[in-house]
Amino acid sequence: MLLNTHAVVAADSFVIEDIRINGLQRITAGAVFNALTIKVGDEFSDDRSGDIIRQLFQMGFFSDIEVQQNANTVIINVKERPAITSIDLEGNDDIETEELLKAFSDVGMEVGRVFNPLVLDKVKNELLQQYYNNGKYSAEVSSKVTTLERNRVAVLISVEEGAAASIKKINIVGNQSFSDDEILSEFELTGPSLFSFYTNSDRYSKQKLSADLERINSFYQDRGYINFKVESTQVSISPDKNGIFITINIKEGKVHTISEVKLAGELIVHPDKLIPYIIVRPSDIFSRKKATQTSENITTVLGHAGYSFANVNMIPEINSENSTVKVTFFVDPGKRVYVRRVIMEGNTKTRDEVLRREVRQMEASAISTNAVDHSKARLSRLGHFDEVDVETLPVSGTSDQVDVKYTVKEKSSGNILAGAGFSQSQGLVLNASISQNNFLGTGKRMSASFNNSSVNTIYSLGYTNPYYTIDGISRGFDISYRTTDYDEANSSNYETETFNMGVNFGLPLNESDKIGLGLDVEFTSLDIDDNLFFGEINKFIADNGDSFANLKATAVWGTDTRNRAVFATRGGSKRLSGTITVPGSDLEFYKLSYSQKQYFPLSKRTTLYLNGEFGYGDSYGDAEKLPFFENFYAGGKNSVRGFTDNTLGPRDIFDDPIGGSVKLVGNAEFIFPVPFMPESKTVRMSTFVDAGNVYDDDLDLGELRYSVGMSAKWLSPFGALSFSLAMPINDGDDDEVQTFQFAFGSGI
């Protein structure tokens, strides 16, 4: 569209008596007058015409402007640009239409606005650049503008995306110490590979290449090549625009060792306390990663001491002649910062004291980043909140005070749940529960539950006050009724009926360790199949009867450092427990058990998980051995996979598993994400090796059963699912093998 401008021609200037604007349709006269710098009463001359035209064109609303004079009146004739009545796109498969229309709107092109051909050209160029960034260099973008009645236009943008160009080869030039494969293994970009069709790792991206160049730099500098540099990078496209070739020219330099490590600056914290956190040593090969980590370690220590704005810089002094580097960590602690107030927000139901008793950062004391973060973790573990955030707020007028604000998002503390699950060992599992984990906002827990399966029927009531004392000692009460059909659990054909009442206390030893003490009154009765009045069970009933009242004392020590309770990736947990029936009980026995779980992160997405369990039980006093219904069991999805649940170990005279007084189980798993779903937090897979068995009195490592296999776990919206495919390595003649095992909604 051509833009024509006409200026008034007059021999003499004159005083403006009137200004008229012709041709306005949608634009108001007021908007035009606001854009003009002339007004009635001003003196008008020839050069003012150019000013008028420039000022009105800057509005962007007009395609043609003409200025005329009639006596002492200035007449401005304008032609408005058309309005956009519709914007349509076709051919854009890779980029969503809604996303594009939003981007168009940001640059001034949307329905209802004035149409500007220059803006359309800008939109087309930006869209084309988007496709180039996605590796589609053969993409073409065209447009069609259709003129409609009443000075309107319809805009159609057509895209021919073409095929995405793929990286055919990445060449490294100048590498002598490491092969191309060693260097390229650090890259996100790759050439054609087995999974590149899904991962798009062979799609060129300028941003990804920049990140990969930084990875090369880190790769070399972490191995002592402190003078390493990327000298140049060439990216070329094949004539058909479907192939990309990348050449990276590097200069390795020499390997440098550390000649000296020094601390400098204002050492507020005694150097002896900092030395353990310095992980670079003289004579070591220089590693920028270790040097950076050392700076972060020192900064963390200073943060714990109240210097939350400390700055620690690593300063290398390179000696190129002997290929050494002197490393100095310069410490600038800044001012020590104190906490004026600890603020709680968002706890509309939970009492303030319930939150504050978990906080380890005290008011009026120096701030400790460790205490602030640990307090956040303790609040998160309460289970009362969906989210916990923390921020430090500077106090106006001071440079050494902050407020620490914890913001929580309450979640429903009361639950009424009903559900169902299925497992091969227990069949259909029905459960229902009513719980109040934060009763009246006090942090106290109350619950009632029902669980039913072919193996167990359980009714239970519970109450716990986690802060029975101000020091964090907890006290709880529980009462339960339980029936167990051992025949359905792959054991001997008998049933137990148990009624239990108990009280328990928890005593924190430190921030991660806790001991528990409990006392329970338990009434147990046996229902024995008539055919079982033989052998061990017959002898036990003859000696002790079939109904018992016992007073049990329990002590437990536990610690938990896992980063999260579900799908942990680092840390671990330990638990040691012992239970003994008090002398004078109908049955006199004790049981000891120890378990330890540990997670070792191997990479960002892979973890090594190790688990070990040991159990031992025996009688004391006049009793001869541990009651058979208190035996340990092994085999199945929670111990040694590949064997049917609870079937390993000793058997009765009818060749049914009866458990044992000694249990030993170990598991080793390599955990990895599901292929094509590396970021999923609800699904993961593992390969495993399991070992274990139960014994009657004497532990025999030669009788351990082993299995190998793969497993998958999914935290689905409908409940937790667990699957395993295992192959026993040394199953015996009497062992019951079950290669495929699964469970749904039954506490995986």
Of 33-42, 243-252, 425-434, 482-491, the range with the highest mean pLDDT is: 243-252
User: What range defines the domain where residue 26 resides?
Assistant: 5-80
Structural domain ending residue among the three candidates 296, 313, 332: 332
pLDDT band at 633; cut points 50, 70, 90: very high
Tell me which of 373, 392, 410 is where a domain ends: 410
pLDDT of residue 498: 92
**Domain tally for the chain?**
6
CA dist 545 to 482, 526, 660, 711, Å? 20, 9, 21, 44
Higher-confidence position of 226 and 679: 226
CA–CA distance, 617 with 631 (Å, rounded to integer): 8
Whether 263 and 199 share a structural domain: no
421 and 324 fall within a common domain: no
Tell me whether residue 531 is in a domain: no
Same domain for 578 and 727, yes or no, is yes
CATH (domain of 357): 3.10.20.310
Does residue 150 carry a pLDDT above 60?
Answer: yes
267 and 401 co-located in one domain: no
C-alpha 547: how far from chain center: 51
Residue 34 covered by a domain: yes
Among candidate residues 471, 461, 458, 467, the one with its CA nearest the CA of residue 438: 467
Examine the fold and report which residue of 286, 304, 332 is the final residue of a domain before the chain moves on: 332
Q: Based on the fold, state whether residues 624 and 738 are members of the same structural domain.
A: yes
Please give the pLDDT value at position 55. 85
Please state, for a pLDDT cut of 90, what percent of the chain lies above it.
Answer: 33
Please, which pLDDT band fits residue 27 given cuts at 50, 70 and 90?
confident
Q: List, for residues 275-327, the tens digit of each pLDDT value.
A: 889 999 999 999 999 999 999 999 989 988 888 888 999 999 999 889 999 99
CB proximity list for 311: less than 8 A, separation 6 or greater? 299, 332, 334
Specify whether 322 is located in the same domain as 433: no
Residue 602: inside a domain: yes
Question: Taking Cα atoms as reference points, which of 61, 65, 67 lies closest to residue 81?
Answer: 61
User: Quick check: is 263 in a domain?
Assistant: yes
Is 216 a residue whose pLDDT tops 50? yes
Q: In a 3-state reduction of DSSP, which class is residue 536?
A: helix
Tell whether 530 is covered by a domain: no
The predicted-structure confidence for 151-168, as pLDDT tens digits, reads as follows 888 999 998 888 778 888
Tell me which H or E stretch contains 671: strand 662-672
pTM of the complete model: 0.59
Q: What's the whole-number mean pLDDT along residues 623-651?
A: 88
Predicted local confidence at residue 558, as pLDDT? 93
Contact 295, 287 (CB under 8 A): no
Per DSSP, the three-state class of 528 is: strand
Residues 35 and 67 in one domain: yes
Same domain, 210 and 325: no
Q: Alpha helix (H) ranges present in 535-589? A: 535-544
Instruction: Assess whether 180 and 261 both reside in one domain.
Output: no
Q: Residue 476 domain-assigned? A: no
Q: Is residue 584 located within the same domain as residue 731?
A: yes
Mean pLDDT within 121-142:
83
Q: pLDDT of 510-540, one tens digit each?
A: 877 899 999 999 999 988 766 545 567 777 8
* Inside any domain, residue 477: no
pLDDT score of 433 more than 60: no
| Position with higher pLDDT, 563 vs 360 | 360
Same domain assignment for residues 579 and 653 = yes
370 lies in some domain: yes
pLDDT band of residue 202 (cuts 50, 70, 90) is: confident
Write down the pLDDT at residue 324: 94
Q: Could you tell me what percent of the chain has a pLDDT over 70?
A: 90
Residues 665 and 729 in one domain: yes
Q: Please give the pLDDT value at position 581.
A: 95
Summary mean pLDDT of the chain: 84
Lowest mean pLDDT among 125-134, 166-175, 520-529, 659-668: 125-134
Give CA–CA dist 381/360, Å, rounded: 14
3-state helix, strand, coil in the chain (%, to 5): 20, 45, 40
